[in-house]
Amino acid sequence: MIALDGEILEDSDKFPKNKLKLIDAWMEIHREDLEANWQLLSEGQRFFKIPPLQ
């Protein structure tokens, strides 16, 4: 589990460094989408899918 600010919250030993760089890039590209989904979920609404890194 990774927080919106990129902090690893759980299982940090399970993330290879090269994969973390990809996750960080994806999170940066989709920061607004991630924040919008967080807002929707906090209001009890459904989230929308965010495309994967390609």
The reported pLDDT for the residue numbered 17 is 84
Which position has the token pair 């989408």?
Answer: 33
* H or E stretch covering 14: none
Which position has the token pair 């919106």?
Answer: 4
**Is 38's pLDDT higher than 80?**
yes
How far, in Å, CA of 50 to CA of 23, rounded? 13
The reported pLDDT for the residue numbered 12 is 66
Find the angle CA(46)-CA(49)-CA(53) to the nearest 5 degrees.
Answer: 155
How far, in Å, CA of 54 to CA of 48, rounded? 18
Provide the whole-model pTM: 0.80
